[in-house]
Amino acid sequence: MAQWIDAGPVEALKDRGRRVFKAGRNQILLIASGERIFACNNRCPHEGYPLSEGTLGAPCTLTCNWHNWKFDLSSGETVVGGDQLRLYPVEVRDRNVWVDVADVPAEQRQRRALENLEQACADNDYERMAREVARHERAGGEPLEPLRHMVRTRAAHFEYGMTHAYAAAPDWVALGAIAHAEDERLTARVEPIAHIAWDTLRQPEFPFTQATKSWDATAFAAAIESEDEPGAIALLNGALTDGVSLRELKPAFAKAALAHYQDFGHSAIYARKAFELIDALGQTVAGPVLRSLARSIIYATREDRIPEFRAYPQVLAKKPQGSGATCAAEQFIGLSVNSTLDRVSTMAGSDEAKYRTLLEASAIAMLRFDLAVDLHTDRAVSHNVRWLDFTHMLTFGNAVRQHCTETPELWQAALLQMACFLGRNAPYLLPAADENWFVADVAQFFAHQQRALFDHGIREPIFSCHRVKMLTAVKEEVAWAGEGSLSRHLVAATNRYLNTPIKLHHALRMAHQALSFVEAEG
Ligand code: FES
């Protein structure tokens, strides 16, 4: 409802050109320009400096002199800059200026904040994303709706399906739930949105098929295996239309994700995190998230087809022998891919016991990762092994345990895939682990590191999201494993990773490898 207030005589305003008055919490700027009178928020929507100090240009463009944003006072459009300036309706009655200072309805403010958020994402403007999410919340919006909105609207813009932007989002939501302060909570909401924006920046829409077929898990697996996206998505559309439960769909995705040693574990991780994201944001994101997940698995690189891992399908095809002795985690350190596969297939013990051993071996390998490898500038591209190749052993392990607990038939493939990880990273280890990374107070370690995530200081989301995902995965595995050697190694490995500076860009290495490659092309 309108709320008109008398803002004083017209003539006095015209004499002075502009005037600021307060209405509730708002400072309103009145500007007279010839016969026209404008009212707008006096706080610049960029950083809040006073527009009363701005410069009025022809015909009615107000420039904020702090950073040169320009606002058309007749249309309210931001001509240069981003966020929109709020204008107020003005009338002249009996030679006085009247201004309608009524609040814009909450739903309208929320809708506008979401529209503006899309614009901020299109510009990859992090600061504006934070402001628009804060505006949406200040207007009474549900705190997770901006993330929900971005997940829904950007799903088809990931050309090759979901990325870590979706995978880390549920971990950010969980972090936000335990945040102590309002700015931390806002950080946890903006970070996944900014990651989605980053990963889909300037990407057109790659529409999913609208076709629908009745759900059939076997046909879905076949469509994914044959990289038939329209076929797989049509079946998924059918499942969603017919109300097939997420509980029923989950094992189908788990099987597809572990059908190959693929994408260095990304598919299995994504197949967990996609469902966690739906749990966190609700059923309205189920379609976009699952279609994007299916696309990512279809496009996943199947490393078990390259010579390095060719033994994997052969070992998998054999029945596990379980005839050997049990093995300690240390006995896996330094073994080649083939030797690791052999040892996993012959070692005695339950699947869960083998998992514990392989996870601990992965943590030990992380403690022994030779950081010089991450820094090299003059070796072949096959030696481009980074911290993230090691952290994925643990985040993949976390996904493996959860998938296989729900779908036990996947244990053998998943354990052998963990063996592939271990063997692949074996050539890049130091002779011994650094004992200094062991942690005395595990609870305090997690609390401190979680708090640190709110101010990680890393611009590229691919690096920051790995910190979030790694800490979440390890915390879950420690809670599951209980006290003991496995947890001690997991926490120590995480401690080393989180407290070692990572080289974020390899310009010289890439130049060296480009020259070698082009030279070899002839
Ligand atoms: S505060 Fe006005 S342009 Fe930056």
Instruction: Return d(Cα 135, Cα 411) in angstroms, integer.
Output: 47
pLDDT, tens only, 130-168: 999 999 999 999 999 999 999 999 999 999 999 999 999
DSSP string, 224-271: HHTT-HHHHHHHHHHHHHTT--HHHHHHHHHHHHTSSSBGGGHHHHHH
* Residue 499 in this model has a pLDDT that exceeds 70: yes
Instruction: Return d(Cα 330, Cα 350) in angstroms, integer.
Output: 18
Distance 82 CA to ligand 1 centre (A): 10
What does pLDDT average to over the chain?
A: 96
pLDDT value, residue 324: 75
The number of the ligand 1 atom at minimal distance from the alpha carbon of 47 is 1
Percent of the chain as helix, strand, coil, to the nearest 5: 60, 10, 30
Instruction: Return d(Cα 49, Cα 151) in angstroms, integer.
Output: 33
- Coil, strand or helix at 500: coil
Placement of tokens 């990304």 in the chain: 266
Task: Kindly tell me the burial class for residue 384, based on how many C-beta atoms sit within 10 Å of its own C-beta (0-12, 13-18, 19 or more).
Answer: middle
The number of the ligand 1 atom at minimal distance from the alpha carbon of 51 is 2
pTM of the model: 0.95
Distance 45 CA to ligand 1 centre (A): 7
Identify the helix (H) or strand (E) that includes residue 447.
helix 442-453
Distance 13 CA to ligand 1 centre (A): 24
Cis peptide before 59 (omega within 30 of 0): yes
Q: Ligand 1: does its nearest atom lie under 6 Å from the Cβ of 49?
A: yes
Instruction: Return d(Cα 471, Cα 279) in angstroms, integer.
Output: 20
pLDDT, tens only, 314-341: 999 987 666 778 899 999 999 999 999 9
Mutate to test the pocket of ligand 1, among 66, 78, 84, 131 (most ligand atoms within 8 A of CB): 66
pLDDT, tens only, 328-383: 999 999 999 999 999 999 999 999 999 999 999 999 999 999 999 999 999 999 99
Instruction: Return d(Cα 368, Cα 462) in angstroms, integer.
Output: 23
DSSP string, 263-293: GGGHHHHHHHHHHHHHHHH-GGGHHHHHHHH
Query: CA 495 from chain center: how many Å?
Result: 22
Mutate to test the pocket of ligand 1, among 42, 44, 80, 86 (most ligand atoms within 8 A of CB): 44
The pair phi, psi for residue 88, each rounded to 5°, is -120, 140
The number of the ligand 1 atom at minimal distance from the alpha carbon of 69 is 3
* Helices first, then strands: H and E counts in the chain: 22, 11
pLDDT, tens only, 399-455: 999 999 999 999 999 999 999 999 999 999 999 988 899 999 999 999 999 999 999
Instruction: Work out the average pLDDT over 198-214.
Output: 98
Identify the helix (H) or strand (E) that includes residue 167.
helix 164-167
Task: From residue 443, give the alpha-carbon distance in Å to each of 2, 89, 295.
Answer: 54, 56, 38
Name residue 111's amino acid.
Answer: R
Q: How many residues does the chain have?
A: 522
Mutate to test the pocket of ligand 1, among 41, 62, 67, 131 (most ligand atoms within 8 A of CB): 67
pLDDT, tens only, 50-103: 999 999 998 899 999 999 999 999 998 999 999 999 999 999 999 999 999 999
- Coil, strand or helix at 336: coil
The pair of structure tokens assigned to 429 is 């280890």
The number of the ligand 1 atom at minimal distance from the alpha carbon of 68 is 3
How would you classify the pairing of strands 96-100 and 90-93? antiparallel
439: which residues sit within 8 A by CB, 6+ positions away? Answer: 445, 488, 491, 492, 495
The pair of structure tokens assigned to 131 is 């402001």
pLDDT, tens only, 219-238: 999 999 999 999 999 999 99
The pair of structure tokens assigned to 72 is 């058309």
Give the DSSP letter of residue 320: P
Mutate to test the pocket of ligand 1, among 61, 64, 84, 131 (most ligand atoms within 8 A of CB): 64
* Residue 36 in this model has a pLDDT that exceeds 90: yes
Q: Kindly calculate the radius of gyration of the chain based on its CA atoms and give it in whole angstroms.
A: 28
CA atoms within 13 A on the CB side of 266: 26
pLDDT value, residue 48: 96
Helix (H), strand (E), coil (C) string for 7-35: EEEHHHHHHHCEEEEEECCEEEEEEEECC
Give the DSSP letter of residue 74: T
297 pLDDT band, cuts 50/70/90, is: very high
CA atoms within 13 A on the CB side of 479: 9
Instruction: Work out the average pLDDT over 265-283.
Output: 98
Instruction: Return d(Cα 321, Cα 280) in angstroms, integer.
Output: 41
pLDDT, tens only, 449-476: 999 999 999 999 999 999 999 999 999 9
The pair of structure tokens assigned to 194 is 């900014």
Q: Ligand 1: does its nearest atom lie under 6 Å from the Cβ of 22?
A: no
pLDDT value, residue 322: 66
Instruction: Return d(Cα 131, Cα 108) in angstroms, integer.
Output: 16
Distance 79 CA to ligand 1 centre (A): 13
Placement of tokens 């279809």 in the chain: 298
Contact 490, 361 (CB under 8 A): no
Please tell me the residue having the least CA distance from ligand 1 atom 1.
Answer: 47
The pair of structure tokens assigned to 491 is 């926490």
